[in-house]
Amino acid sequence: MNTANLQLEGLYLAVAAINQALVRKGVLATEDIDRALRVAEATATAEERMVEDLSPANRDAVVFPIRFLLAANNSASEDGTAPFSELARLIGETKRPYNDQV
């Protein structure tokens, strides 16, 4: 596996842990994080270049970190974040086609 991919895995897990800490400290609610991430995903997928210049696989690559953090946020427990592989599998299983693919 590419070293950069491993570094990104660690970064996603770190951001997920920070999000959980913000919720535990009462700084943000899970719903606040969910809403912010959904706005980020909508912004990313609404960009004109996403439809015109990027293949569906590249679009998935752009939104993967956002979807990963959404999955981590929604499956968080007192025990922490689910393993990277489990969350990545969940993202793949629940992925919907883009509007131009329907």
Q: Which pLDDT tens digit goes with each residue over 34-91? A: 999 999 999 988 888 777 888 888 888 889 999 999 999 988 777 778 889 999 999 9
Would the pLDDT of 15 be above 80? yes
Would the pLDDT of 102 be above 60? no
> How far is 96 from 99, CA to CA, in rounded Å?
9
Which of the pair, 81 or 32, is modelled with greater confidence?
32
Instruction: Please report, for the chain, the start and end positions of each structural domain, with discontinuous segments joined by +.
Output: 3-101
Question: At 77, is the secondary structure helix, strand, or coil?
Answer: strand
Half-sphere exposure of 74 (CA within 13 A, CB side): 14
Would the pLDDT of 31 be above 90? yes
Would the pLDDT of 101 be above 60? yes
Tell me the whole-structure pTM to 2 decimals.
Answer: 0.84
Would the pLDDT of 1 be above 80? no
The shares of helix, strand and coil residues in the chain, as percent rounded to the nearest 5, are: 75, 0, 25
